[in-house]
Amino acid sequence: MNNWTFFREAIKNFRSTGAIARASPALVQRLIGSIPASTPLRIVELGPGEGCITRALLDRLHPKSELAVFEINPAFVGRLRTIRDPRLVVNPVGADRLAEHFAPGSVDFIVSSLPLSMIEQPVKEEIIRQSQRILRPRGRFLQYQYALQDYGLLKDNFTDVSVSFTLKNLPPAFVYSCSLGML
């Protein structure tokens, strides 16, 4: 799927996609660059779209890692299912159903490109609540966003939230790295 196809899908479903172009390689690197590659990990990705971050994760992750993705757009789900990698599980359901798939404290990293600012407040709060629940004590929730609309929500729910920024995306983006502070 090229950027034009992503754009068409985004226009058809603008409220749920929340972007006109997929994340640039520079943004993807900033988002996932801190995830260790040398050790097996359990990773969850929220809102993978056509899979630009998914593929970068699979390139990076240890051969014994697991990657579960949650995507609600059927066109994107179809595209994700063409990725042949035994580490990948594609869940065609919303990110508010995480707790049905993972035990508390069992996930190392959650990588999210959900359009948080377009998701209704109660659903968004439920996604963050379930994310906290399934993360290991030393786990991290990584998210990008085009403005800092949800900084407050993340600060309220995670003990430690750091923010960085990249101009190398259309539009430029902030990247949050959030932890439960149980080191």
Q: Given CA atoms 110, 116, 120, 125 in this order, what sign does their dihedral have?
A: positive
Query: Hey, what amino acid is at 86?
Result: P
Nearest to 65 by CA among 107, 23, 34: 107
CB of 183: closest distance to ligand SAM in angstroms? 28
Q: At its nearest, how many Å lie between ligand SAM and the CB of residue 107?
A: 16
124-163-131 Cα angle (round to 5): 30
- Closest distance to ligand SAM from the beta carbon of 6 (Å): 7
Nearest to ligand SAM of 34, 39 (CB atom): 34
Q: Whole-number minimum distance, CB 95 to ligand SAM, in Å?
A: 4
- Complete DSSP assignment for 44-73: EEE--TTSHHHHHHHHHS-TT-EEEEE---
* Site residues for ligand SAM per CB under 6 A: 16-19, 22-23, 46-49, 52-53, 70-73, 76, 94-95, 113-115
Return the number of the residue (95 or 107) whose C-beta is nearest ligand SAM: 95
